[in-house]
Amino acid sequence: CSGRPSKMKPQTRLSAASGTPQSLKLTYPETLDRIKEEFQFLQTQYHSLKLECEKLATEKTEIQRHYVMYYEMSYGLNIEMHKQVSQL
């Protein structure tokens, strides 16, 4: 929601990129562990972004509520000023 990149990065990618081609051959349990870690990271990131979106939606609603309130006050004052000017 915010459009800015997340600061969280999966650490599993760093170790795989720095290894030799021999070390990239992972066993099934190792591959599953990496997938689980990546999935956990994505879940955490999703949860964080979801909370941020909910917070922004709440702020948006509050700002809209204030806007309507100020608009109504301004409209009321404008009508009151016109009444007073027409009475002069």
Q: Give the pLDDT confidence of 41-63 residue by residue, as tens digits.
A: 999 999 999 999 999 999 999 99
Q: What is the pLDDT along the chain (88 residues), one digit of tens a residue?
A: 655 555 555 554 545 445 555 567 889 999 999 999 999 999 999 999 999 999 999 999 999 999 999 999 999 999 999 999 998 7
3 state SS for 10-50: CCHHHHHHHCCHHHHCCCHHHHHHHHHHHHHHHHHHHHHHH
Would the pTM count as exceeding 0.85?
no
Structure-token match 């459009």, residue found: 3
Q: How far from each other are the two terminal CA atoms of the chain, in whole angstroms?
A: 53
Take residue 5 and report the two structure tokens written for it.
């990149």
